[in-house]
Amino acid sequence: MPIPLLALALSAFAIGTTEFVIMGLLPDVARDLSVSIPSAGLLVSGYALGVAVGAPVLAVLTSKMPRKAALQALMIVFIVGNVLCAVAADYRMLMIARVVTSFAHGSFFGIGAVVAASLVAREKQASAIALMFTGLTLANVLGVPFGTFVGQSWGWRLSFWIVAVLGVLSLAGITALVPKRHDAAPVGLAREVRVLKEPQVWLALAMTVLGFGGVFVVFTYIAPILEQVSGFSPRAVTLILVLFGAGLTVGNVVGGKLADRALMPSLAGILVALAIVMAAFAKTSHAAVPAAVTVFVWGIAAFATVPPLQMRVVEKASHAPHLASTLNIGAFNVGNAAGAWLGGFALTQGARLDALPWVAVAVTIAALFVTILAGYLDARRTRAPRAATQCVS
């Protein structure tokens, strides 16, 4: 894999750290800014909404820029956002700073996936995208725990200063390592928007929403499940989440390798595996050791979907992938939010915590059906020219 991918992975590590580190710092932020914990929790929601809304906006604004220049501009926005977080004088300013930071998130991953794919041969493109996303998975395993420790020990503002420094290093890496010779000429906004007329692009986005939405039906409530159903202590839950993060890292690599071999069959197989693991978790969650093992395997299956889902939309919008790839990052966040809402709705309707995995299974099966439909349409489109050629012959 080319060295420039390391600059993209470092950027992904920085972005992933700033997205999730706030969760471990909520009590400190709330105490320092004199707000309630629920109000501080809105900083998480504000970031997610900023990703979903800001991604297409930034994609439009950068549509006429060369991709390397767009990545540099987005990383500057990221650095400025984190500096503003570090110096925020009150809650309102911190919320604005978080939203500013989130604007860079969706577009960076969207354009970064396109750039990563352009750096390698076609048969290695999914693995290249997976390597970039490895930075995001490692952020959950290393960056977030370290940032939380630093913030709790020396003040939450220091965590954002450190992430800002990571942003500067990422910007330097992109500037020095990402070559312009791989930088395609801008295709313009009109062509980027025109690609959204393709049904397969929308099917790819639907696959992402459903495929990752099922994961967050359970992951949103994983702490109460592990504590109340599996019997773990709150401190042990933290260790189990690190185990889940390790599974994400493994799954990311596995998903990239499988997608390079056979994209759609691999994606269908991964979704089947994800549904099976979720069904198993409905049973294994009642015992500590089986629950821990299942959470690790679940992490593998969950993030194994990411490289093929991102590769699918890049492939189907290959002549103008900038906006579509960015929208797919937004689709991941829509899936996160929808899965969290669906899990909460099930609980308010009387479902028990150990029933949530079955809700996740249903959502994952829906993603599988969309995947099968997309594959069928691909096959039908391939057969049509062959049939026409045979008739002419």
Q: Which of 133, 162, 185 is the last residue of a domain?
A: 185
Q: Are 233 and 169 part of one and the same domain?
A: no
pLDDT for 20-34, tens place per residue? 788 778 778 888 999
pLDDT at residue 97, as a whole number: 95
Q: Are 126 and 251 part of one and the same domain?
A: no
Residue type, 301: A
Instruction: Tell me how many domains the chain contains.
Output: 2
Q: Which of 166, 185, 204 is the last residue of a domain?
A: 185
pLDDT at residue 387, as a whole number: 54
pLDDT at residue 297, as a whole number: 95
Q: Are 137 and 169 part of one and the same domain?
A: yes
The residue behind tokens 């992904």 is 12
Q: Are 227 and 169 part of one and the same domain?
A: no
Q: Are 117 and 250 part of one and the same domain?
A: no
**CA–centroid distance for 209 within its chain:** 11
Backbone angles phi, psi at 62, to 5 degrees: -105, 10
Q: Are 148 and 207 part of one and the same domain?
A: no
Q: What is the pTM of this model?
A: 0.77
Q: Which of 185, 205, 227 is the last residue of a domain?
A: 185
Q: Are 300 and 177 part of one and the same domain?
A: no
pLDDT at residue 185, as a whole number: 56
Q: Are 234 and 379 part of one and the same domain?
A: yes
The residue behind tokens 């471990």 is 24
Give CA–CA dist 105/26, Å, rounded: 21
Q: Are 359 and 393 part of one and the same domain?
A: yes
pLDDT for 291-309, tens place per residue? 999 999 999 999 899 889 9
**Which token pair is 340?**
């969290």
Q: Are 35 and 117 part of one and the same domain?
A: yes
Q: Are 135 and 104 part of one and the same domain?
A: yes
| Domain carrying residue 288 | 187-393
Residue ranges of the chain whose pLDDT lies below 70: 1, 181-192, 320, 383-393
CA R_g for the chain: 21
Dihedral sign from CA coordinates of 343, 348, 353, 354: negative
CATH for 31:
1.20.1250.20
Q: Are 166 and 192 part of one and the same domain?
A: no
Give CA–CA dist 74/385, Å, rounded: 42
CB atoms within 10 A of CB 89: 8
pLDDT at residue 210, as a whole number: 94
Write a three-state SS string for the chain.
CCCHHHHHHHHHHHHHHHHHHHHHHHHHHHHHHCCCHHHHHHHHHHHHHHHHHHHHHHHHHCCCCCHHHHHHHHHHHHHHHHHHHHHCCCHHHHHHHHHHHHHHHHHHHHHHHHHHHHCCCHHHHHHHHHHHHHHHHHHHHHHHHHHHHHHHHHCHHHHHHHHHHHHHHHHHHHHHHCCHHHCCCCCCHHHHHHHHHCHHHHHHHHHHHHHHHHHHHHHCCHHHHHHHHCCCCHHHHHHHHHHHHHHHHHHHHHHHHHHHHCHHHHHHHHHHHHHHHHHHHHHHCCCHHHHHHHHHHHHHHHHHCHHHHHHHHHHHCCCCHHHHHHHHHHHHHHHHHHHHHHHHHHHHCCCCHHHHHHHHHHHHHHHHHHHHHHHHHHHHHHHHHHHHHHHHC
Q: Residue 75: CA atoms inside 13 Å, Cβ hemisphere, count?
A: 28
Residues 6+ apart with CB under 8 A from 17: 139, 143, 144, 147, 163, 166
**Which token pair is 114?**
């396109």
